[in-house]
């Protein structure tokens, strides 16, 4: 594919990703990125330039975030301020997913701490029950065993097992939180600004 | 420690000051700014981050962009220059930066 064709394809995709902006702003941005890419192509560095800009969507998102925030502060109307917040939120899907998944594992860790303590207070109501008749397992607390055929498997081992699982889920949740934070810092605009 | 993440935070405010300061002596295009910054990778401005920044600074009225075509034809470029407001912002930012740099250098151990 020729350089001109690559530039045209990139700019078409960029214009599509910028469609939320007024036409004048969009045209101005596309014209400037065209000038940039054509200049770099003249230097024989088109591939590097495209890589540095990121994909058309990434490139567009960087402009949209800047413009939405700036115009929200300038105008202050509810549509613009809410729209700016929405644009930021959609760009923060990673953060939301991170919060959700690490949250689940923190809750699991807390649940096993609770089960461990409850075992010490009311051992007969806590356990890991297996029911061979139904082929089912249940780990937790309940007033009565799940069924007459159910057997409790852990006995005195319940406290150390619950503690180990609590630590395991806690460490995993922490690792997951840090992983998503790292992803947040690396994604978004190329150049990390 | 993730030094890259910390550096990214450090660069956020500095990039704006670097662009305004580079436009103080002469008007430049995006490419002209990138070329001037090429030998200074620690500032962290790249092809992908400079245009959104220029776009915002122009909207805020600190810089003004004009499309220019070179004499004898060729590719047009948008050339940016500081506005009066930009010049006054740069003056305040320079003073703030100098104070910040001096105090931090005293604490961290500046030129060692």
Q: Which residues of A touch B76 (CB under 8 A)?
A: 35
| Boundaries of domain holding A16 | 3-91
Same domain, A35 and A104: no
A145 in any annotated domain: yes
Q: Is B78 on the interface with A (CB under 8 A)?
A: yes
- How do residues B7-26 score in pLDDT, each as one tens digit? 877 887 888 999 999 999 89
Three-state DSSP class for A144?
Answer: coil
Query: Of A91, A115, A135, which residue is a domain's last?
Result: A91
On the question of pLDDT at A38 being above 50, the answer is yes
Whether the complex's predicted ipTM surpasses the cut of 0.90: no
Domain count, chain A: 2
A121 in any annotated domain: yes
Q: Which of B47, B52, B77 is nearest residue A52 as measured by Cβ atoms?
A: B47
- Shortest Cα distance from A185 to chain B (angstroms)? 6
- How do residues A127-146 score in pLDDT, each as one tens digit? 888 887 777 878 877 777 66
Q: Which of A164, A154, A157 is nearest to A128 (CA)?
A: A154
Domain spans in chain B, listed from the N-terminal domain onward:
3-108
Q: Is A59 on the interface with B (CB under 8 A)?
A: yes
- Please identify, in words, the CATH class of the domain defined by B3-108: mainly alpha
pLDDT at A193: 39
Q: Which of A57, A56, A87 is nearest to A72 (CA)?
A: A87
A35:B8 CB<8 A: no
A25 in any annotated domain: yes
Q: Is B101 on the interface with A (CB under 8 A)?
A: no
What the block records as the tokens of A38 is 């054509």
Low-confidence ranges of chain B (pLDDT < 50): 112
Hey, how many other C-beta atoms are within 10 angstroms of the C-beta on B9?
Answer: 10
pLDDT at B3: 82
């Amino acid at each position: 594919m020729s350089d001109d064709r690559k530039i045209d394809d990139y700019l078409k995709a960029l214009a599509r990703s910028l469609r939320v902006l007024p036409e004048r702003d969009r045209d101005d941005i596309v014209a400037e990125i065209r000038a940039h890419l054509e200049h770099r192509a003249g230097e024989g560095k088109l591939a590097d330039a495209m890589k540095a800009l990121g994909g058309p969507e990434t490139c567009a998102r960087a402009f949209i975030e800047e413009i939405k925030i700036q115009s929200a502060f300038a105008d202050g109307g509810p549509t613009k301020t809410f729209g700016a917040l929405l644009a930021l939120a959609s760009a923060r899907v990673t953060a939301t997913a991170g919060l959700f998944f690490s949250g689940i594992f923190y809750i699991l860790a807390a649940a096993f701490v609770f089960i461990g303590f409850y075992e010490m207070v009311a051992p007969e109501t806590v356990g890991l029950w297996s029911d061979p008749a139904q082929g089912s397992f249940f780990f937790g607390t309940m007033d009565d065993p799940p069924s007459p055929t159910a057997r409790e498997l852990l006995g005195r081992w319940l406290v150390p097992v619950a503690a180990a699982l609590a630590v395991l889920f806690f460490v995993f949740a922490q690792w997951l939180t840090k992983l998503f934070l790292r992803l947040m810092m690396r994604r978004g605009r190329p150049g990390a600004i | 420690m993730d030094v890259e993440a910390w550096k990214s935070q450090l660069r956020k405010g500095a990039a704006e000051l670097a662009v305004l300061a580079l436009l103080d002596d002469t008007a430049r295009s995006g490419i002209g700014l990138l070329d001037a910054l090429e030998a200074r990778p620690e500032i962290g401005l790249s092809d992908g981050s400079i245009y959104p920044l220029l776009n915002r600074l122009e909207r805020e009225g600190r810089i003004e962009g004009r499309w220019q075509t070179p004499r004898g034809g060729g590719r047009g470029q948008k050339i940016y220059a500081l506005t009066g407001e930009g010049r006054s912002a740069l003056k305040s930012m320079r003073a703030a930066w100098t104070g910040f740099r001096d105090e931090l250098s005293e604490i961290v151990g500046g030129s060692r």
